[in-house]
Amino acid sequence: MELTDLTVTEAAAALRRGECSSRELVSACLARAREAEKTVRAFVELFEDEALAEADAADRRLRSGAAAGRLDGVPIGIKDNICAAGRPLSCASRILSGFTAPYSATAVERLRAEGAVLMGRLNMDEFAMGSSTENSCYGPTRNPWDTARVPGGSSGGSAAAVAAREVPAALGSDTGGSIRQPAAFCGVAGLKPTYGRVSRYGLVAFASSLDQIGPLARSVGDIALLLDIMGGRDPLDSTSAAEPAAGPPAASGGGVKGMRLGVPREYFIGGMDAGVRGAVEAAIGRMRELGAEPVEVSLPHTEYAVAAFYIIATAEASSNLARYDGVQYGYRAPSPGDLLNMYERTKSDGFGDEVKRRVMLGTYVLSSGYYDAYYLKAQKVRTLLSGDFKRAFEACDLIAAPVTPSAAFGIGEKTSDPIQMYLSDIFTIPASLAGVPAISIPCGFSGGLPVGLQLIGKQFDEAAIFRAARAYETATEWHKARPPSDRARGEKAAVDSKRGA
C-alpha cells in the first residue's frame, strides 16, 4: 500500500512503529497533491516548507521516545475559513486578500497539540456560501471522480483532497450541509457534530447559530478520533458544551443489532435521483441484515426547512459580514472619493455575487416591518423542526436518510439558478436547524458517482452514529473505492512493484 492510501489511524500507527517517517509521509502527500492539483484544484495553498519542518520535528519526537501525540506526524488539511496563526486566510474571497490569521482556531490548536502536521488550506465557496465550491475567488474545485462535476460545497476542497488521496483527513465547516454534501459527492466520510460539540473559536462566522467545524476522512474511525481530539468545552467560545467525548466506535459496543433505525418518509420524495434512492434503500436493507430494525418516522416540517434556513442564515450573515468594510484589514477599494464611497466600492468589489445576494436577503428580512413576517416566523419553524426530531427519536435510536437528492452535478449546471442550488441541501438542512449530529458515509454509486448515506443522531449522541456507521462500513466495501484516476495510479504502482520483485 502506498503511503497516501493510509487512513489517519493507519498512518499514526505506522509512524509509531517506525514503518515510515513523517517526512516520508508528508512528502508523499505533497507529491500526490502536486499531481492531483493539475485537475482537482482542492488546495488554495500548500504549506510545503512549513509542513516538512513540522514533519521533521515529529520525527525527532518519535525517535526520541517522547510521548507521542495521537496524530504525531500525520498531515491534515484545513478549510480556508479556519484560522491557523501566521498563515494566510481568505475564506476564498477577495475581501480578505492579504489577511494573515493572528491566532489559531481551538480545533486547530487541539490537533496540533496531538502532533498533526498542517498541509495547507483548502478551497471553499466564498464565506461558506454555496453547495458546489464554484463561488470562490480561486475558481472551482473539481470532483476527483469526474472533473467535469462539482465536489459539493462549501467544504468541497476538503472533500476532494481527501478523496484524491492528497491528505488523509481535512477539516471543514457545516452550516446547512457543507461537510455532509461534499462528503457524499466525493465518496468520503464527513461529520457535522452536535452544535456546541466543537469550539467555533477561530472559525470565520457565516451563521453563528448554525456553524460547526467537523472532520472529513476515509474511515469512521478517523472521524471519531478527530472529533475526540477537537471536541469539548472551550472558554473562548460561550456556545461550546462540556459534554463527554463520544469515544472511538469500538468503545460504543457491538454492531447495530437491536438498534431502531428511523426512516423519514419526507426524505424519499418525487424527483429524487433513482440511483441515489436505490443506493440508500439498499444501505438501509443491509443495516436490517446486520440486526437493525427499520421503523418509519415522520419529520412533517421538513418542507419548510430550506426556506427557514435561508432566512435565518442570511440574516446572521448580514450581521457577521458587516465587519468587512476595508478599514482595518483585507481589501480596500483604491482611491475612494469619501468614506461612504469606500464602503460601497470595497464591498461591491470584494464580495462575490452569491455573498452579496445572501447579505442583501438577510438585511431585508431583518429590516423594519419585515422582521416579524420573515425572521421571527423562520425561528418558529426552526422550533417546530427541533420538535419533529425529538418526537422521532422517541421511536428510534438513529435516523437513516439520503444526504442529497442526486449525485454530483456538472460544473456550471446550477450557477444560473440559485433556487435549484439551494435545494441541493434539502436533506441536510433540517439536522442543522435542529442542532443534531449527522454523518455522511459512502453507500454506493449512481451513474458511476458516489452516493452518501446520512445517519442522524440525538444531540451529543455521536457515539450511536459511530457505532452504526462503523458496523455498516465493516460490512461493506464502498469506503474503499477510489476515483478512476487514482485507481489507475494504484494499478500502475502495483504493476511496477511486481516488475521490481
Who contacts 199 (Cβ-Cβ below 8 Å, separation ≥6)? 105, 106, 107, 213, 230, 232, 234, 236, 237, 240
Q: Which of 21, 22, 79, 347 is catalytic?
A: 79
**CA nearest to 227, candidates 212, 210, 247:** 247
Q: Are 42 and 78 in contact (CB under 8 A)?
A: no
Catalytic residue among 22, 93, 132, 178: 178
Angle (deg, nearest 10), helices 8-17 and 22-36: 140
DSSP secondary structure string, 69-109? Answer: PTTTT-EEEEETTB--TTSB--TT-GGGTT-B-SS--HHHH
Q: What is the rounded distance in angstroms from the CA atom of residue 117 to the CA atom of residue 367?
A: 45
How many other CB atoms sit within 10 Å of the CB of residue 207?
Answer: 23
Other C-beta atoms closer than 10 Å to the C-beta of 442 total 27
The answer to whether residues 120 and 51 touch, using CB atoms and an 8 Å cutoff, is: yes
Give the residue among 184, 154, 43 at the shortest CA–CA distance from 421. Answer: 154
- What the block records as the C-alpha cell of 380 is 418558529
Cell numbers describing residue 197 = 460539540
**Distance between CA atoms of 56 and 383, rounded to whole angstroms?**
51
DSSP character for 251? G
Distance separating alpha carbons of residues 289 and 9, to the nearest angstrom: 28
Q: Do 465 and 398 contact (CB within 8 A), yes or no?
A: yes
Among candidate residues 22, 93, 104, 154, the one labeled active-site is 154
Q: What is the DSSP string of 170-193?
A: EEEEESSSTTHHHHHHHT-EEEEP
Q: Is 498 a catalytic residue?
A: no
Q: Three-class SS of residue 8?
A: helix
Tell me if residue 199 is catalytic.
Answer: no
DSSP 439-460: EEEEEEEETTEEEEEEEE-STT
Amino acid at 253: G
Position of cell 452569491?
354
Catalytic annotation on 414?
A: no
Q: How many CA atoms lie within 13 A of 406 on its CB side?
A: 17
Stretch (H or E) spanning 12: helix 8-17
Distance, CA of 399 to CA of 388 (rounded, Å): 12
Beta-carbon count within 10 A of 94 CB: 15
Query: Coil, strand, or helix at residue 129?
Result: coil
Comparing CA positions, the residue from 61, 182, 174, 165 lying closest to residue 116 is 61
Q: Which residues are tagged catalytic?
A: 79, 154, 178
